[in-house]
Structure 1
């Protein structure tokens, strides 16, 4: 209970610190063969405006899709439409994930996979801040290459044996660890690849992915992991990592230019930072990066 209260208070404090993003002029829509997709809840609206307003000018255009977890108010929706040039806001409850888990991240993934049939899709979490030019991302779009943000554990493509070796270092039964232990049992293990990346910032190349293939992956992994376990938080990230790793010529974004944030991260070297989870508000760096992004946009 106290953890949730502290987390809520930190979010509110950040929202106050970052409200200057509302003074930055609205995004001007530019045509580009890109869809930028994000899952969003009421508490993260200011964070998301920082993410999108800092990222959109760096990528050069595209359409915006927001997958509403059900908590966005009418005021939230009006604010988003005002500042983001009338994005599409889709209710997650209307999205069918079929044989796959159905929590919000999976519903967003379904939207991303379906949209990638016709254009390049970028998944952008609300706790991302873009601080400098992103030529690697533009190149992925131009070359139709999938990408994913690397992690502190991994910035390269692994074989199932390498994933298993990493998982052996943990006593946890978190779903990601269970999955990484199971890949060696796949019938196609010799050809399967994996990256322990972060699905909060990922790119899906156009014309490659089908939801039926995602369902087939779920069904395959459920032969080795309890179905109820696979429906826990974290299975979507395993799936995204697998989709990207098994695409042609994927790019794994590496530190320090593209980085997740923890207590020892030097954000001054980063072009894009993902302020995820436990260390999101550590050291005031998230608010500092938001102020830096606002200053750049204002200039």
Structure 2
């Protein structure tokens, strides 16, 4: 019976994924996304399989909060045809190569290149990191306020995650650490190895949607963070997942920062009637038809 239930769940996921991909393909036939005179720089890392999802994420976002620049850090899988689609749908898009963002002293892969790209673009304006698997469904008032006030933000992953002292976050992580724990837990457990005068705070957020203030001197902090973490946890520091931890640290220790209210901004399985932004993280992406319905709804009003 259990095997049958698992097989049924797999088939259901595949069905919902097929419905989403059919719906999202419609983004290629709608009018182009234009830049605004003012607004943030919206930056994303995009791979070939996510081109349509990215255009959906971007389209729903800039409808709520216009952008003055749109940047894609291109995964190597993004070929010339994919880039032509992006340029047709976003005529003023800036496409930069992933391999251009690999400075000595930091890991590569696992989305590290997008965080490094952010460290460069914040010298030119407020930067919002937008994952391709997101959909804005309502007014983004809190995000607009952060852009206006040049405050950092991150997407919360639960109701109780707030800005907290790094030492407290380290104690909490050590209380649930185990040899096979996720890299993020191991890194959090070493937070108190960082110099407290530089890294006093931590937010357990999500790198999929985060804002970084203009003028933020991130790269020196990021290099310092990486050096300490590599010494503390060794080769694990280069595993997938360390970039999200690093993003959390960078947001928490910006001159001003906040966690977006949860579940007003959340994953789809936590949504309520007043949710305005959904992050379709992998394990809940296709558990039902929500993603496809939102794609169809966007196309009807585009």
TM-score, normalising length from structure 1?
A: 0.90
Alpha-carbon offset, residue 209 of structure 1? 2.2
Give the equivalent residue in structure 2 for 1:270.
275
Please give the secondary structure, in 2, of the residue aligned with 1:201: strand
Unpaired runs of 5+ in structure 1? Answer: none
Alpha-carbon offset, residue 6 of structure 1? 9.8
1:109 maps to which of 115, 128, 134: 115
Give the equivalent residue in structure 2 for 1:21.
27
Deviating 4+ runs (over 4 angstroms) = 4-13
Alpha-carbon offset, residue 220 of structure 1? 1.6
Once the two structures are overlaid, the 10-residue window that deviates more, 166-175 or 86-95, is: 166-175
Aligned residues: 293
TM-score, normalising length from structure 2?
A: 0.89
CA contact (8 A) 2:129 2:208 kept: yes
Alpha-carbon offset, residue 286 of structure 1? 1.3
Unpaired runs of 5+ in structure 2? Answer: 1-6
Once the two structures are overlaid, the 10-residue window that deviates more, 281-290 or 34-43, is: 281-290
Please give the secondary structure, in 1, of the residue aligned with 2:288: helix
CA contact (8 A) 1:131 1:292 kept: no
CA contact (8 A) 1:67 1:89 kept: yes
Give the equivalent residue in structure 1 for 2:49.
43
Deviation track 1:160-212 (CA, whole Å, cap 9, x = no partner) reads 34323432235343210001111123342796110110000000001112312
CA contact (8 A) 2:177 2:186 kept: no
RMSD: 2.5
Once the two structures are overlaid, the 10-residue window that deviates more, 48-57 or 204-213, is: 204-213
Q: For 1:89 and 1:47, locate their aligned partners in 2 and report how far apart those are by CA, in whole Å.
A: 17
Q: For 2:195 and 2:14, locate their aligned partners in 1 and report how far apart those are by CA, in whole Å.
A: 45
Q: For 1:293 and 1:157, locate their aligned partners in 2 and report how far apart those are by CA, in whole Å.
A: 34
Q: For 1:91 and 1:59, locate their aligned partners in 2 and report how far apart those are by CA, in whole Å.
A: 26
1:212 maps to which of 212, 215, 220: 220
CA contact (8 A) 2:177 2:189 kept: no
Deviation track 1:268-294 (CA, whole Å, cap 9, x = no partner) reads 431110001211111121112222333
Alpha-carbon offset, residue 266 of structure 1? 2.9
Give the equivalent residue in structure 2 for 1:197.
205
